[in-house]
Amino acid sequence: MNRVDGKVALISGGARGLGGMSARKLAEAGAKVVITDLREDEAAVTLAAIKSAGGDAKFFKHDVADEAQWAAAVKFTTDTYGGLDVLLNNAGIGGSSRPLEELSLDGWRHLMSINLDGVFLGMKHAIPAMKARAHLWPGGCSIISISSIMGLVGGARQIAYCASKGGVRLMTKAAALELAPAKIRVNSIHPGFINTPLLRSGAEAMNNSAPGRGQRFLDDAVSRHPLGHLGEEQDIAHAVRFLASDDSAFITGTEIVVDGGYTAQ
């Protein structure tokens, strides 16, 4: 089903993981996709997969904390494909698991520059291009930002990450109200623990510091999800595709929680 046929999507952090899978699913459904990331080699793998399946995608190297690079990424998208209809703010980093009193201000600001500033800058620079095309679609244009269950509930030793993801949630609601008259919908997605390269590498790092610690972390994560398993990348990508499509034409300013029941407890 070509549910986003003819739409143009820009995906930050699209080289791998949730962004890479979302790029594949949007391209499968008929969208033209621009992947932005700093990981060129991994982006090349995702691009090759999209193109081998008959999709249309390009890559733009991009640091989401840099405003000038956001302007350039949007310009590249509109120059290449003639417009912009879907923005997926996916790029993000995890927080260091340290006690609050041990966190540095520089570390706090670095995380915020990517997880929060990056989303703000993405919206800021996408909006003018979207306003020019929102009339083309029954559901207008769509901005989707990846938050987290940690944007809904707290996590010990994750104060910076929780603050950034909670900020994404409320920034989404404020933007949705402001942009509704322009037919630009704005929503956030809140994944639970998803089986991504980021999660796996984090578990491996734990094992390197203390044998078995990473596996205990993963086992604990599984136990916190009533469905009894971690999520998979496509679980989030399907939610992205829904919010990007006109199937969600009456949905704005809300959060889609994809967490296996984690926050229902």
Report the C-alpha gap between 116 and 124 in whole angstroms.
Answer: 12
For the purposes of burial, counting CB atoms within 10 Å of the CB of 154, is it exposed (0-12), middle (13-18) or buried (19 or more)?
exposed
Active site residue 161: yes
Name the strand (E) or helix (H) holding 185: strand 184-191
Residues 6+ apart with CB under 8 A from 90: 11, 12, 13, 14, 18, 19, 22, 146
Structural contact between residues 17 and 191, judged by C-beta atoms closer than 8 angstroms: no
Quickly count: other Cβ atoms within 10 Å of residue 2's Cβ.
11
The distance of Cα 205 from the centroid of its chain, to the nearest Å, equals: 23
| Structure-token pair, residue 10 | 């820009």
| Structure-token pair, residue 236 | 């989030």
| Structure-token pair, residue 197 | 């390269």
Active-site pick, 161, 193, 242, 262: 161
Helix axes 197-209, 213-223, angle to 10 degrees: 130
Helix axes 117-131, 159-179, angle to 10 degrees: 20
Catalytic (active-site) positions: 161
